Amino acid sequence: MNNNVKPVAGETDAQTAARLSLDVSFPMEQSKILNTPLGQIKFSVLIESSFGSDYEIKLKVLGPDPNLPVGMSVRRVRAVLLSAFSRTGFNQLDFSFRFETDIRGGPESGEHLDAQSWEGMHDIIVVGTEDGEALSSRMPWLEFMEDPLALVQYRKDGLNIPLKQIPAGETIGLHYIIAENSNPEPVECSAWYAVDIPHKQLFRARS
């Protein structure tokens, strides 16, 4: 045993090792890749959990029905739904996507929505998720260092949702919605509206 480790009185070496292992964290990553007319999008979940902890991570791709205003239409809508559970909690969970394209994205935020869009010569792609305010309304245990609206991080090639110190026994549900349409769109902003689907609606459709 490491000489710098001080066992608890009456504790065997094996018990000390087991106790210390609970303080050791390790990262684990799962990902899915979706193809679009403008390039591949890689969706990744990176977790940091205690060694030996009991957890379950699921990434599922859905084909939801968007809630579009009358007259609007899109070519395709997909959703990547994350479900994560740990009996001992997560130290950290990052759910992100990276668009592998040379086209630079632009922010397209709205009420309870964080999104980015990419426009090619003939196609437009919008990827969106809940903003920090919507996330905190579903998961009140979230602790924000800053304004909840700043929780979702914008990057030039995607978005990231970083969560820390997730309590034991909590089931985490997050999503990204991907809408494809022709450029120009038959009705402007159709793809943006298509990515604004409540998480509860996606959760019900997951089966």
Asked if 151 and 172 touch (Cβ cutoff 8 Å), the reply is no
The whole-model pTM stands at 0.84
Average pLDDT over residues 12-37: 65
Percent of the chain with pLDDT over 70: 81
How high is the pLDDT of residue 87? 86
- pLDDT score at 10: 59
Residue with tokens 């809508």: 77
pLDDT in tens, 89-106: 888 999 999 999 989 899
Q: Which of 14-23, 129-138, 149-158, 196-205 has the lowest mean pLDDT?
A: 14-23
Q: Please list, residue by residue across 12-33, b when 16 or more beta carbons sit within 10 angstroms of its beta carbon and e when fewer do.
A: eeeebeeeeeeeeeeeeeeeee
* Banded pLDDT at 141 (limits 50, 70, 90): confident
Hey, where are the domains in the chain? 25-205
Question: Are the CB atoms for 16 and 8 separated by under 8 Å?
Answer: yes
Q: How far is residue 155's CA from residue 44's CA, in Å, rounded to a whole number?
A: 14
Instruction: Note the pLDDT of residue 195.
Output: 98
pLDDT at 23: 43
Lowest mean pLDDT among 45-54, 78-87, 163-172, 178-187: 45-54
Q: Indicate the range of 9-23, 25-39, 65-79, 130-144 predicted with least confidence.
A: 9-23
| Residue 70 CB neighbours (<10 A) | 5
Tokens of 60: 């599922």
Average pLDDT of 182-187? 97
Residue spans of alpha helices (H) in the chain: 13-21, 132-138, 190-194, 199-205
Structure tokens at 196: 């604004």
pLDDT of residue 7: 47
Beta carbons within 8 Å of 167's beta carbon, 6+ residues apart: 89, 141
d(CA 160, CA 123): 24
